[in-house]
Amino acid sequence: MQLKNIIPLLLFLLILWGGKSEAQNTRQVSNQWHGWYMYFGTHKLSKKLNLLTEYQWRRAEVIKDWQQSLARVALEYKFADNVATAAGYGYIITYPYGDQAVKFQFNEHRSFEQLVLTHKSVSGRFNFSHRYRLEQRWMENVVAATDGSPQHDSWIYRNRVRYMFRVNIPLNKKAMEKGAIFLSLYDEIFVNFGKNVNYNIFDQNRFYGAVGYQFLKNANIQVGYMNQAIQKSDGKRLENNNTVQVALTYNLDFTKKEKE
């Protein structure tokens, strides 16, 4: 990997290291197991325009209880084969879960913009991507009514920036093609900013590893593990979430008939 591609990753890992050092002084660390079951689609609308679709069924205690429901949709424009921008919307429902649960279920509306840069190693075997995402979040503030029932109070606005570095490595073939078994690795760091952020500028980090199978030219499945460290808004509590992930990617080309 060239030095210019390593520098962004090192910068964010340094921020992460600082965040984890601070988290060591927190009063409460909650270790939990979750399961995320996900679908992703990149659907070609024209030569340069794609429709991105996504749904994540996130469960606490691997599959027992609700953690989150997340749906996202976006329009992506490809400036070149290795440069793409997108803008979209997400709707998220967060449920009470775990040792540090919120009191009531709440909704979130989220808009986002992103830039994705991709490249390959000299050999062509390693497929790298860098995703830079900016998010605007409207989070519902739910409080207890006089009878103790949940009641909408207001919306809290927050900003967040995310950076993901990912590499996909085919194991039994030279490229990510039909029949390839591959290894997928990524690290993503989340940083909050703005006036509504006080104690958790470092929001979370996700480290992921999985084995995948490209069973069609336009579809693959991945099964893996993600470690998610989340710092709560009070800066004193930390979630260490061990997460089983199953992901299906299925892409459609609406400009022509699929040919396998």
Distance CA 234, CA 200 (A): 7
Looking at domain 3-250, its CATH architecture is Beta Barrel (2.40)
Kindly report the pTM of this predicted structure: 0.87
Closest C-alpha to 132, from 85, 193, 196, 80:
85
pLDDT on residue 259: 46
R_g of the chain computed on alpha carbons:
19
Residues of the chain falling short of pLDDT 50: 1, 3, 21-24, 26, 258-260
pLDDT on residue 26: 45
CA dihedral 51, 118, 242, 91 (to 10 degrees): -20
Handedness of CA 200, 201, 202, 204 (dihedral sign): positive
Cα–Cα distances in angstroms (integers) from residue 165 to residues 71, 132, 169, 198, in the given order: 22, 9, 14, 27
Contact 209, 225 (CB under 8 A): yes
Cα–Cα distances in angstroms (integers) from residue 6 to residues 71, 109, 130, 163, 164, in the given order: 31, 33, 11, 13, 12
Q: For 66-157, where are the alpha helices, taking DSSP H only?
A: none
> Around 182, how many Cα atoms within 13 Å sit in the side-chain half-sphere?
26
pLDDT on residue 207: 96
Distance CA 189, CA 223 (A): 21
Q: Which amino acid appears at position 58 of this protein? A: R
Contact 165, 9 (CB under 8 A): yes
CA dihedral 20, 245, 129, 183 (to 10 degrees): 110
pLDDT on residue 1: 47
